[in-house]
Amino acid sequence: MRTISYSEAIREALAEEMSRDPRVFILGEDVGAFGGVFGVTQGLFAEFGPERVRDTPISEAALVGAALGAALVGMRPVAEIMFGDFVTVAMDQLVNQAAKARYMSGGKAQVPLTIRVATGAPGSAAAQHSQSVEGWFLNVPGLKIVIPATPYDAKGLLKTAIRGEDPVLFFEHKMLYAAKGEVPDTEEDYVIPFGQAVIRRAGSDITLIALGSMVQPALTAAEQLAANSISVEVIDPRTLVPFDKETILASVQKTGRVVIVHEAHRRGGPGAEIAAMIAEEAVQWLDSPIVRVAAKNVPLPYSPILEEYVLPSVSDIVQAVSNIATYRL
């Protein structure tokens, strides 16, 4: 396999799906000739033209509304939200329209809509351009939520999203765009089914569930903890909706201890839902409290020192795991 970046993997998925299906098109702010603010759509405008790579006004409400309308009449739009924080501007289109169209039409309306959301703290982008907002949408039935952590997953999961018949929120962490990993040659058309977690590292003492950008720090922490004879199993759920609870529960039954790490804020974050599921369905196997490692419950600071303090770190993960490694209820 080749080694390419996360952003290149996403670009390949877009190009391949656009070549495969003429109904697929891209729309968003500066996605055309400029190539996207993070360069993800670079070259696609030249390859596919302005009809299929469409620049929109600076209005998330307008671009998501247009994408939703296109999906309802048979197209397969891929809309880009430049900064995930501003998905709030399109909340009605997503939460009250896209998520409910199939249900309210008795299954007659399909919504093959993919929303690519650039998420997370890219380094001193301050409170309005740094949030991880995936947890906000867990309370909305009808939306699928995808959080790829590697180039391989980014490509395979995006192709699955585009080929599906339901609205998908596809969260891409900004700090992962340059991350590199192995991806099959372009001749190999692969997809990754939703709802299938992956065990990134096997272990026997602690189940460490890590989302998106926290997968690599979790693996680094697991390596450090191994030096202290603590065996950590690192699980990457890959999708929050649908969620692979079977893989999680099997690991919890083996280890009896759970730490959940994500960059979203701790209060009401996705870790809270995962912890509730484990408490409801696996309490008989637990030997310690479920611990969450996440961003502190304050707006993301501009100051690099304060931002580092607020965001979860490898040392935070090591400390959390160490605290419960020998705990007994």
Q: How far apart are CA 174 and CA 39, in angstroms?
A: 11
- pLDDT of amino acid 125: 94
Say which CATH number the domain at 84 has: 3.40.50.970
- pLDDT of amino acid 182: 97
The residue annotated as part of the active site, out of 129, 173, 262, 265, is 129
Number of domains in the chain: 2
**C-alpha of 292 from chain center:** 18
Are residues 153 and 225 both part of a single domain? no
124 located within any domain: yes
Are residues 218 and 176 both part of a single domain? no
Are residues 277 and 221 both part of a single domain? yes
- pLDDT of amino acid 329: 74
Q: How far apart are CA 277 and CA 17, in angstroms?
A: 35
- Record the pTM: 0.96
280 located within any domain: yes
Are residues 69 and 163 both part of a single domain? yes
223 located within any domain: yes
225 located within any domain: yes
* Single-letter amino acid code for the residue at 203: G
Instruction: With a cut of 50, list the residues of the chain below it in pLDDT.
Output: none
* Contacts for 166 with CB less than 8 Å, ≥ 6 apart: 102, 110, 111, 112, 142, 143, 144
Q: Which domain holds residue 257?
A: 198-324
Are residues 214 and 240 both part of a single domain? yes
282 located within any domain: yes
Active site annotation includes 265 = no
Instruction: Identify each DSSP E strand in 8-111 by its residue range.
Output: 24-28, 53-55, 76-81
192 located within any domain: no
204 located within any domain: yes
173 located within any domain: yes
Are residues 12 and 108 both part of a single domain? yes
- Final residue of a domain: which of 148, 183, 218? 183
- pLDDT of amino acid 193: 98
**C-alpha of 72 from chain center:** 24
Say which CATH number the domain at 254 has: 3.40.50.920
- pLDDT of amino acid 327: 85
Are residues 173 and 202 both part of a single domain? no
* Contacts for 327 with CB less than 8 Å, ≥ 6 apart: 257, 287, 288, 289
Are residues 218 and 307 both part of a single domain? yes
Are residues 167 and 214 both part of a single domain? no
